Amino acid sequence: MTAPLIAITSGEPAGIGPELCAVLAAHEWPVRPVVIGDLALITARVACTDRHVAVRAFDASQPPVPGMLDVLHVPLDVASEPGVLDTRNAAYVIRTLDVAVEGCRSGHFAAMVTAPVQKNVINDAGIPFTGHTEYLADQTQTPRVVMMLAGEYGEPRRWMRVAVATTHLPLAEVPAAITPDLLEDSLRIMHKDLRDKFGLVSPRILVSGLNPHAGEGGHMGREEIDVIQPVLDKLRAEGLQLIGPLPADTLFVPHQLERGDAVLAMYHDQGLATLKFATFGGGINVTLGLPFIRTSVDHGTALDLAGKGCADPGSLIAAMNCAINMLGYRS
């Protein structure tokens, strides 16, 4: 039986993404990783690591070889130096994503895993880009997706899964963005994908409030009363297991987290600061609601480490394992 192909986009060429890909050839997987990026770039950056990995151009007719990294060549626009951003390669980064999306939509790839990109250099090149999550939704014409980060924490090891209702928005714009439709769609997507792709038969979702102390009965804001609570009541009546709205400052204590399988926070830093503190280096990012599986590392491009071969590949390994597990749970 032919192993499914997993597309791995190598990310910002000046960052650590290209060299992290070396770990893919050093592991045995039940799938076949295919790195998408410039062949010469990947070869040079893999050589910076202490892993004994060879690099070759991907050819589907050739069987995988242990210790060999398959690269689907997408050429750089200009040569890239580790740690030095160049707007002239912004379009290259977008092309690698487009190749992976096209391959996933056609069924050539079973899933995609993404290394980090540098949003500001893409925007400085004149390409509107707020993040992988929003870009993939746009490219697949998916009206609503949900960004969820996950990772193991504590002793004994337990999973923390945190999704956000709003993603890369200025904080001042968040309250107006928290609408009944947004919350209902987000919770339905979470419920479906936690069930179908994570194997949770009846997922329990903890929902945070927006305001301090979840609004303190309306004295610190009415979003909980006017927006969040009515949505939770509606979906509970349909059988969804929803707990909240809960004060965000105490939601992440262990006895609260044990009540649920995942958290829906209202905005980016409200949920992800705690998750990254607890799981950084081994956490992952998952886009829920897409027509295919996409996972990612939970860190940035680490320009100061690029080309030194010392970046921790733990998050990339975790993202690969999550994609593989999700493929096994697909209905």
The helix/strand/coil state of 146 is: strand
pTM tops 0.85: yes
Joined tokens for residue 311: 């970046």
Average pLDDT, the chain: 94
Mean pLDDT (whole number) for 57-86? 96
Binding-site members for a divalent metal cation are: 168, 213, 268
Q: Where are the alpha helices (DSSP H) in the chain?
A: 17-20, 22-26, 39-46, 90-106, 119-124, 132-139, 174-177, 180-196, 223, 229-237, 248-251, 254-257, 268-279, 314-329
Percent of all residues in the chain with a pLDDT value above 70, rounded to a whole number = 99
Amino acid occupying residue 259: R
The rounded distance, in Å, linking the Cα atoms of 325 and 192 is 16
The rounded distance, in Å, linking the Cα atoms of 181 and 312 is 39
The rounded distance, in Å, linking the Cα atoms of 7 and 103 is 8
Confidence (pLDDT) at 193: 95
Residues in the chain: 331
Evaluate whether 190 touches 147 at the Cβ level (below 8 Å). no
Tell me the pLDDT tens digit for each residue of 274-311.
Answer: 998 988 778 899 999 999 999 999 899 999 999 999 99
Strand 32-37 relative to strand 54-57, pairing: unpaired
Binding-site members for substrate are: 132-133, 276, 285, 294
Q: Give CA separation, 26 vs 65, 76, 106, 125, 308, in Å.
A: 11, 25, 28, 35, 18
Residue 331 scores a pLDDT above 60: no
In 3D, which of 15, 57, 14 has the Cα closest to residue 36?
A: 57
Binding-site members are: 132-133, 168, 213, 268, 276, 285, 294
In 3D, which of 88, 76, 103, 96 has the Cα closest to residue 9?
A: 96
Mean pLDDT (whole number) for 218-231? 96
Residue 157 scores a pLDDT above 90: no
Tell me the pLDDT tens digit for each residue of 27-64.
Answer: 889 999 999 999 999 999 999 998 889 999 999 999 99
